Amino acid sequence: MKHARNAAPGLSGVARNLFASLGTTGKVVTGAVAAVLAATPFGAWNAVADDAVPLSAGTPVEVGPYEVLIEKVVSTRTLGDVRPLDPADKLLVVVAEVTNTSDLPAHAYQLADIVPAPVGAGVVDREGRPVADDVATGDRPLPDRYNIADAGDLDVVNPGVTYRVALVWNQDGDAAPATARVDLAGLDWIDEGFAGLDDEYWLPTDEITHSGRFDVEPPGSAGDDGEAGGADGGSGSTGTDA
Amino acid sequence: MSGRRSRWRTILFVPVAIGAATWFVTQVPQDAGVDQPFEVEGAVGETVRLGYADLTVTDVRVAQRIDGEGVAQAGGVFVVVDAVWEAAARTLSIGGAELVDAEERTHAATDRSGCATATSAAPAYGQRITYCFDVAPDALEGAHVRLGRGGEGESGAFQRRDAVAVVDLGLDEAALDEAGAGEALRVEGPAPVVDARPGTEGDA
C-alpha cells in the first residue's frame, strides 16, 4: 500500500514535475502568466487612461445615452450662490453640453458617473482631504450638478434635449493648476440583469473611455466672469464674483 | 451499480429539465395580454375611467420657462399637463407619467420648479396635479401622455395588466409660438379640488 501511495504524486507534485521539465524560456513564460493571473483580482485587466480616446474642448463624444461636449474647465471662488464647503477653498467647474441621443429618458445623476473628478487639479473631497491623482475613477468625489440656464438641479434628460451643465467640485484654495486631465468614464447598457432582477439601465463601468488635458481658467479670468456660473436668469444666481 | 446509475440519472434530470423548460418559455411567443397594460384612450377635457380612478386632463400648455418653486428654463420646451385624479374606492398612489412622441420616443416628467411626477388620489374629491415634460421641440407633434397608477419601471413592469390612460395632447409645431420668451408659466404643486368633473361647479 505504501508504494501505491508514493506512485500518486498529487496535483502539486504533477505541477512541480511539469515546471521542472520546462526549459528556461518555458519557466519565464509560465512565471509571467502566473503573475498576471495572480494580479487579476487587483485590477490587472482594468483599462488605463493611456488607452482612452483623446478628448479635447468643443469635440462631442458619445458616452452611454449622452453626447458629451466638454467646453472648458474653470477655477473660481464662487459660482453664483454656490460656494465651496470651506471658505478657504475654491470651486473647480467643468462646463459641458450634454444631449440625450437615445430614445429613452436618461437620469441626470449619471453625469457624475460619466465625468469623474479632474486629475491634477487639486480637487478635495467633502471633508477637505486632497484626492490623489491615482485614485480609481469610481472612488473620486462626485460633483454637484447645475443646469446653467437656470442654476437649478437636473433630474432627467429626455431624448433630443441639450443642456449646458456645470459640474462642480471643491478645490484646494492654494491649488493653481495650469491644466487638468479630464476623463470620461463609460456606461454599459444592461438589457437584462442577472436573474432578471434589474433590467434596462445604464451601468457605470468606471473605465476611462476618453481623456484629455484642458487649460484651467484661473479665478478672475475673463471666461470666469459669469460664464462658468452661467447663472443667467433663474433662481437668483448671478454668476461668479471673481 | 444500477443504484449508482439511477442516482446519476436523477442528478442529470434536473439541469436537463430546467434547460428544456427555459428553452420552451423563451421560444413560445407570449400573448400580449399576459403582461401588457390595458390602454384607455382619451382626449384633453374628457374624463377617462380606469376602474381604480377617473382621470381628466384639463389643460395642456407649452412654455420655455416655468415658475413654481423658482424659475426653470427648458433645455427644449416644457409641455405642461394639468390633470385631476379621483380615486374610485380607496386612496391610492399615482406614479406613472410619461410622454410619448410620434417617433415612439418616451420622455419622463420632471420635478423641477414645483412640478410633480406623482401624487395620491382619494375617492369623493379630485386631486389636481401638474406634470411637466422638458422635450425637444420636434417631439410636440403627435405627442400623447400615458398616465396611470403604476410607474413605468422596467418595460412598464408596474403597469402590467393594469389600466393606463393614453391621452392625445393635440399639439403641433404651432404650439411653439405660444411657448415664446414671455413671462414664465406659473405652475403649482398637487392639491385637492372640489370637483374634478368638467362642467360642474368648482371644476379644476
Residue A237 lies in a domain: no
pLDDT tens, residue by residue, A45-62: 554 546 789 999 999 999
Instruction: Mark yes or no for CB contact B70/A236 under 8 Å.
Output: yes
Instruction: Considering only residues A241 and A204, tell me which one the structure prediction assigns the higher pLDDT.
Output: A204
User: Are A36 and A59 in a shared domain?
Assistant: no
Instruction: Closest CB to B71: pick one of A155, A200, A234.
Output: A234
User: Are A134 and A210 in a shared domain?
Assistant: yes
User: Are A58 and A157 in a shared domain?
Assistant: yes
Cell numbers of B34, please?
A: 399576459
Q: Any chain A CB within 8 A of the CB of B113?
A: yes
User: Are A32 and A85 in a shared domain?
Assistant: no
pLDDT band at B34; cut points 50, 70, 90: low
Instruction: Mark yes or no for CB contact B135/A161 under 8 Å.
Output: yes
Closest chain B CA to residue A156:
B110
Q: Any chain B CB within 8 A of the CB of A157?
A: yes
Q: Any chain A CB within 8 A of the CB of B102?
A: no
Residue A101 lies in a domain: yes
Residues A208-229 have a mean pLDDT of: 75
User: Are A154 and A117 in a shared domain?
Assistant: yes
Number of domains comprising chain A: 2
Residue B31: per-residue pLDDT: 66
Contact A196, A228 (CB under 8 A): no
Q: Quote the CA–CA distance of B136 and B79 in Å, as a whole number.
A: 10
pLDDT tens, residue by residue, A81-103: 889 999 999 999 999 999 999 99
Instruction: Mark yes or no for CB contact B70/A149 under 8 Å.
Output: no
| Residue of B111, B99, B73, B116 whose CA lies nearest to B167 | B99
Residue A8 lies in a domain: yes
Question: Is the model's pLDDT at A37 over the cut of 50?
Answer: yes
Q: Characterize the bridge pairing of strands B144-148 and B96-100.
A: antiparallel
**Which runs of E-coded beta strand occur in chain A?**
53-54, 60-63, 66-76, 90-100, 106-107, 123-124, 144-147, 156-157, 162-171, 179-190, 201-217
CATH number at A107 reads 2.60.40.1240
User: Are A183 and A203 in a shared domain?
Assistant: yes
Range list of H helices, A40-162: 111-114
Q: Which range of residues forms the domain containing residue A24?
A: 2-42
Residues from chain B contacting residue A155 (CB–CB below 8 Å): 110-112
Query: Scanning the structure block, which residue is given the C-alpha cell 384639463?
Result: B58
User: What's B18's DSSP letter?
Assistant: H
Q: Quote the CA–CA distance of A76 and A175 in Å, as a whole number.
A: 11
Residues from chain B contacting residue A154 (CB–CB below 8 Å): 112
SS3 annotation, A130-161: ECCCCCCHHHCCCCEEEECCCCECCCEECCCC
Q: Any chain A CB within 8 A of the CB of B35?
A: no
Residue A170 lies in a domain: yes
Q: What is the CA radius of gyration of chain B?
A: 23
User: Are A166 and A112 in a shared domain?
Assistant: yes
Residue A234 lies in a domain: no
Instruction: Closest CB to A163: pick one of B65, B75, B98.
Output: B75
Q: What angle do CA A218, A222, A226 make, to 5 degrees?
A: 95
User: Are A36 and A100 in a shared domain?
Assistant: no
Residues from chain B contacting residue A159 (CB–CB below 8 Å): 105-107, 135-136, 139
pLDDT tens, residue by residue, A139-189: 999 999 999 999 998 999 999 999 999 999 999 999 999 999 999 999 999
Closest chain B CA to residue A235:
B70
Instruction: Closest CB to A158: pick one of B107, B111, B112.
Output: B107
Q: What is the CA radius of gyration of chain A?
A: 25
Q: Quote the CA–CA distance of A159 and B102 in Å, as a whole number.
A: 13
Residue A235 lies in a domain: no
Residues from chain A contacting residue B112 (CB–CB below 8 Å): 152-155
User: Are A125 and A37 in a shared domain?
Assistant: no
pLDDT band at B166; cut points 50, 70, 90: very high
The CA distance from B28 to the nearest CA of chain A, in Å, is: 18
Residues from chain B contacting residue A156 (CB–CB below 8 Å): 108-110, 134
User: Are A23 and A129 in a shared domain?
Assistant: no
The CA distance from A138 to the nearest CA of chain B, in Å, is: 25
- Secondary element (H or E) of residue B174: none
Residue A233 lies in a domain: no
Q: What are phi and psi of A118, to 5 degrees?
A: -60, 150
Closest chain B CA to residue A155:
B110
Task: Tally A–B CB contacts below 8 A.
Answer: 78
Q: Any chain B CB within 8 A of the CB of A161?
A: yes
User: Are A38 and A93 in a shared domain?
Assistant: no
Instruction: Mark yes or no for CB contact A105/B107 under 8 Å.
Output: yes
pLDDT band at A73; cut points 50, 70, 90: very high
Residue A56 lies in a domain: yes
Q: Quote the CA–CA distance of A169 and A186 in Å, as a whole number.
A: 20
Closest chain A CA to residue B98:
A105
User: Are A133 and A188 in a shared domain?
Assistant: yes
